[in-house]
Amino acid sequence: MKRIILSLFIIFALWLQPAYPYWIWTPKSGKWVNPKNLPKDSPKEQFVYAKSFLDDKKYEESKREFRKLLKAYPKSFEASESQYFLGVIFQAQGNSYEAYQNYQKVIDKYPFSERIQEIIELEYSIGEKFMAGEKRKAMGITLPVDNPAIEIFGKVVENSTYGPLAPKAQYKLALVLQGLHRYYEAEDEFNKVISRYPDSEWSTAARYQIASCRASLSKGPAYDQGSAQEAKEKFLEFVRDHPDAVLSLDAEKNINQLRDKEAESSFGIGRFYEKQEFFDAARIYYHAVIDNYPDTSWAAQAVERLQLMELKKNEK
């Protein structure tokens, strides 16, 4: 029996022995810690160690070591570099949104980093990927926004309001909103392009897109005559101010489409009054179509309705 107890004691002691060296007492924290979780003695040593994993494409190990550095030496130069390389790692892993978030932390926490302009360019390129349709899911995580490009382009502008990428980022932010049918928000953002960057190449395009937003509003399920009229006026203004612009051709097409829509609306009102036998009111609207939109198909139909009304009147 004594032999059995002694044997069990020896086995238990051997089982404990390997675990002991992995825990040490630190008077500074007053806790037992595992040395494996401790950073190196200096931020430089820790950075070199973390970077070595990145060089070997051991991304998870590298992230762990860069995070150790950020926690232990948050005010060091190496901390700003570690935050930047966390963005690089997430981008290498195909997680663009996490990459953007980590790049942005460099700007937020280390505004004097020499990498700021590089980071703004990286963020802009990530915004373009999402604008082009990059999947909203990355590494199994559903992103918390409708389209990350809205947030990212907004940050590019915020980070450097009058920097070289700002006018383009502001314009593309508005384009994304327009693509999501958020026309009023898009129009506000296009107006910012014009007010903030009036001399940029994007200002002219923004004026066209404002008219396009108004046109889209007029083409909704319920025809909005006010929006259609505003859209036509803005397109006409664009063509007048930029007669040689490539977009002026599209603007003229839109003007013709809007005029056709206006003519259809007036013709429809005329038909309504005709069916209700309010013939005088119907004639007013049919004549308005003929006088104001003579080059549309609705003008010919209005002439036909007037002739039929006249025949019915004579038959009586």
Where does residue 262 rank: exposed (0-12), middle (13-18), buried (19+ CB within 10 A)?
buried
CA distance 301 to 18: 95
Instruction: Give pLDDT tens digits for 192-239.
Output: 999 999 999 899 889 888 888 888 887 654 455 666 666 656 666 665
In a domain, 28, yes or no: no
Q: What local confidence, expressed as pLDDT, does residue 20 receive?
A: 42
Reported for 145-148, long-range contacts at CB under 8 A and 24+ positions apart, including other chains, are: 146/180, 147/176, 147/180, 148/96, 148/97, 148/100
Q: How far is CA 118 from the centre of its chain?
A: 20
Q: What local confidence, expressed as pLDDT, does residue 207 receive?
A: 87
Look at residue 183 and tell me whether its pLDDT is greater than 80. yes
- Which is it for strands 31-33 and 24-26: parallel, antiparallel or unpaired? antiparallel
In a domain, 264, yes or no: yes
CA distance 174 to 220: 20
Instruction: Give pLDDT tens digits for 129-145.
Output: 999 886 654 544 555 56
Look at residue 288 and tell me whether its pLDDT is greater than 90. no
In a domain, 201, yes or no: no
Average predicted confidence (pLDDT) for the chain: 80
In a domain, 252, yes or no: no
Look at residue 5 and tell me whether its pLDDT is greater than 70. no
Residue ranges making up the domain that contains 276: 260-316
In a domain, 129, yes or no: no
Tokens (6 digits) for 216: 């889209």
Instruction: Give pLDDT tens digits for 249-281.
Output: 665 676 677 677 777 767 877 787 778 777 777
Tokens (6 digits) for 207: 């004026």
Q: What mean pLDDT is predicted for residues 50-74?
A: 96
Residue 253 has φ and ψ, to the nearest 5°, of: -65, -45
H or E element in which residue 137 lies: strand 137-138
In a domain, 117, yes or no: no
Lowest-pLDDT choice from 21-25, 102-106, 210-214, 234-238: 21-25
CA distance 242 to 175: 21
- 18 pLDDT band, cuts 50/70/90, is very low
| Tokens 């508005």 -> residue | 174
Q: What local confidence, expressed as pLDDT, does residue 73 receive?
A: 95
In a domain, 311, yes or no: yes
308 or 36: which leads in pLDDT: 308
Look at residue 100 and tell me whether its pLDDT is greater than 90. yes
Q: What local confidence, expressed as pLDDT, does residue 23 receive?
A: 55
Look at residue 13 and tell me whether its pLDDT is greater than 50. no
In a domain, 283, yes or no: yes
Angstrom CA distances, 102 to 44, 112, 124, 304, stand at 20, 16, 14, 68
Q: What mean pLDDT is predicted for residues 62-75?
A: 96
Q: How many domains does the chain divide into? A: 1
Q: 0.75 cut: is pTM over it?
A: no
Look at residue 313 and tell me whether its pLDDT is greater than 90. no
